[in-house]
Structure 1
Amino acid sequence: MGGLIVELSCPEHGLERFTVKVIRRFNISPEEIIPKFRTKPEYDLSGIIVGREVNTKEVQKYLENYLREKGIWERVLSIKLV
């Protein structure tokens, strides 16, 4: 699993896509999910660091909850694995 592509409808541009990298680490606890944020150009999610026993559905559920908290889940059209 390399990442997730999120497609959402944008009122200005019509369609917007961005990628969230999924980084599997072996030096953290096996069930842990840690968000990785970028600071520039704006503070937002750039990746998700996961333990070795976290499956794809758990990562998608985590991303879905993050987008719900941020308030843009209603605009999401699809989430695809890369």
Structure 2
Amino acid sequence: MFRIIKRYYAAWRYRRAVRKARRLAALFGMKYYVINLNGSLKVVPKRTVKELIKRRRFRKGVTVEDIERHALFVTT
């Protein structure tokens, strides 16, 4: 029973993050990613991902394409 509740909660959080990403992409005209950072879903624009890579927030050698491949959802 507890597993079912956890799955529903995770699905609800995912749908909420996707909805937020789509809304922001339509509003600002930028590409947004839904990624899992530190155990929670984050909605981040591509521009911010580029800045984080420049500041070495991710491991050496990680590119924007790697982040996009591993993203849970990418707006168009």
- For normalisation by structure 2, the TM-score amounts to 0.34
More helix by share: 2
Structure with bigger RCO (C-alpha 8 Å, 6+ apart): 1
- For normalisation by structure 1, the TM-score amounts to 0.32
Larger Rg: 2
